[in-house]
Amino acid sequence: MLQMLSCPRCQGAGGGEGLVKMADSEDCVTQWIVCNLCDGLGQISRRRHAAVSIGKHLRDHRVKTLAVSLADLSTRLPTFTPQAVSAVEHGTTPFTSWGDVLELCIAYECDHHELLEAIHAAGDADDA
Ligand SMILES: [Zn+2]
């Protein structure tokens, strides 16, 4: 049984109202937009939740401390494409391995004490 947590992106709502431009007119209409993190479920697994937290931490560190763009980073880290780094930073699917997260963390020279705790807390028997 997976332990599910409230989705941090939509706060458990499964999505939110958003303005959508219609293809056949200049008008915008208000539409329900399904959350792309939880796919409208309003909940995500504990592991995914940890992945999102870790990714946010890594992104903040890259932007604020390293002050380097995804494109610049990919020239420094040949094993990661910008897409792969972006996926880790957003905790999105296909979620890469915890090894990738740790490798990125080390490459960022990021204090990863809290990341290791989050990984430990998330366990390893969860969704992929
Ligand atoms: Zn959501």
In tens, the pLDDT along 81-117 reads 888 888 888 887 555 567 777 777 778 877 767 776 7
Compute the distance from residue 74 Cα to the ligand 1 centre, in Å: 29
As a CATH number, domain 46-122 is: 1.10.260.40
Task: Determine the distance separating the centroid of ligand 1 and the alpha carbon of 29, expressed in angstroms.
Answer: 21
Domain boundaries of the chain, sorted by first residue = 46-122
Task: Provide the token pair at 104.
Answer: 């990125």
12 CA from centroid of ligand 1 (Å): 6
Q: Which tens digits make up the pLDDT trace of 16-67?
A: 999 988 888 888 899 999 998 899 999 998 888 888 888 888 899 889 988 9
Q: Write the single-letter amino acid at 83.
A: Q
Burial class of 100 by CB neighbour count within 10 A (0 to 12, 13 to 18, 19+): middle
What span, in angstroms and rounded, lies between the C-alpha atoms of 114 and 61? Answer: 13
**Quick one: pLDDT band at residue 128, thresholds 50, 70, 90?**
very low
What one-letter code names the amino acid at 78? P
